[in-house]
Amino acid sequence: MKVLHVISGGETGGSKNHVISLLSQFPKEDVILVCMQKGELYEDALKNNIDVRLLEQKSRYDVQAAKKLTQIIKEENADIVHSHGPRANLFAALIKRSFKRPLVTTMHSDPTLDFMKGGIKGKVFTKLNLWTYKRMDHFFAVSERFKSHLIQLGVHSIDITTIYNGIDFTPATKQRTLTRADLGLTEDELVISMVARLHPVKGHNYVFDALKQLNDPKVKVLLVGDGPYKQDLINQVNKLGLDDAVHFLGFRNDINELYQISDLGMLASLSESFPLALLEAAKEHTSVITTEVGGVDQLVPNPGYGWIVRPKNSNELAGAIEEAAEMKKTTPDELKAKGDRLYNHASEAFSLTQLAASYRDTYEQLMSNHR
């Protein structure tokens, strides 16, 4: 079996980590990764000994690249083509007739929100991405909620497999060197790490509103990530007078250490699949506050593991943060216990081994049906 994965290559967050983690679980000769641009994803694939190819393009919209992709698929005699993200979906869908192999995609995000606030161009790209869905032979949904969304878009349930994200829960051998003092933080503060690209769909503005409501100088939020709306968010923080409460850390390679020095992980998204950021928090025994999106209720089944609030609800976010801050003051052992419970549950239910096995089973079934 040989599966050829296609991805834009510009990803730096959950999609990148998902693809690298997944492909690392397969024998090198069974998978090929085609990146449509050089970036961190391409470099990480090389470091992980993944067979990665660069699809040279004159521009992002160079249709000649589609022919090159067809050539790679045929030369490698790929059994399945697996695309990730709108750009890869489009190129793969355009050449589907030429390679006559099953074409599958993973729904990493809500396609109706991928180009949120993108203007006319965003509306065009959304329509193009939804068109590609009509060309797919099978879908991987990373939560039951996303499966339901696909069905609403007209995809038959028989063509959807739900596979929740997974990560490697093996403890890191490297000792932590990062301290709160390095970031100007103190031990008595409630420190919350929010790992998310700076985009409206991630709900940063609702977090800011919640912090303004609380007006608690002991609550600090670390924003980890970058994105096109960074300056807008900085302006909003300045306008609300939250400069001391919100720290923009940009892109970081030490996410695990940031979670280790934090009391909580935060997810405030309006839409998600099954967020890797929460699994990364769980790996470090760090409890979470999250909006009710994707499959988070599978990770946080009850309040003993963390807090779930409704999306776009600053009041509920503020309430959860306030409860956590009070817990840190009065019963800090319980806050730690939440993180320990989250780790125990996540490491058993969402391992990388289970993730890869589920994908392999579906690939084999698709190949069997295609013969």
pLDDT tens per residue, range 137-182: 999 998 888 899 899 989 999 999 999 889 889 887 778 899 999 9
At 369 the pLDDT is: 83
Residue 136 to residue 157: CA distance in whole angstroms: 13
Return the number of other C-beta atoms located less than 10 Å from residue 164's C-beta. 20
Residue 131, phi-psi category: left (phi > 0), alpha (psi -120 to 50), beta (remainder): alpha
> Which segments in the chain show pLDDT lower than 50?
none
Q: Is this structure's pTM higher than 0.85?
A: no
At 183 the pLDDT is: 97
At 176 the pLDDT is: 85
Write the pLDDT tens digit of every residue in 299-340.
Answer: 999 999 999 999 999 999 999 999 999 999 999 999 999 999
At 117 the pLDDT is: 67
At 61 the pLDDT is: 66
Residue 9 to residue 327: CA distance in whole angstroms: 42
Q: Which residue from 167, 139, 147, 164 is spatially nearest to 274, judged by alpha carbons? A: 164
At 115 the pLDDT is: 64
The residue ranges of every structural domain in the chain are 3-168+351-370, 180-349
CATH number for 3-168+351-370 (one of 3.40.50.2000, 3.40.50.2300, 3.40.1390.10, 3.10.20.740): it is: 3.40.50.2000
Residue 81 to residue 109: CA distance in whole angstroms: 19
β partners of residue 348: none
Q: Which residues contact 21 (CB under 8 A, 6 or more apart)?
A: 166, 167, 168, 352, 355
Token couple for 316: 């509920």
At 237 the pLDDT is: 98
19 and 5 in contact (C-beta within 8 Å)?
yes
Radius of gyration of the chain measured on its C-alpha atoms: 21
The superfamily (CATH) of domain 180-349 is Glycogen Phosphorylase B; (3.40.50.2000)
At 60 the pLDDT is: 67
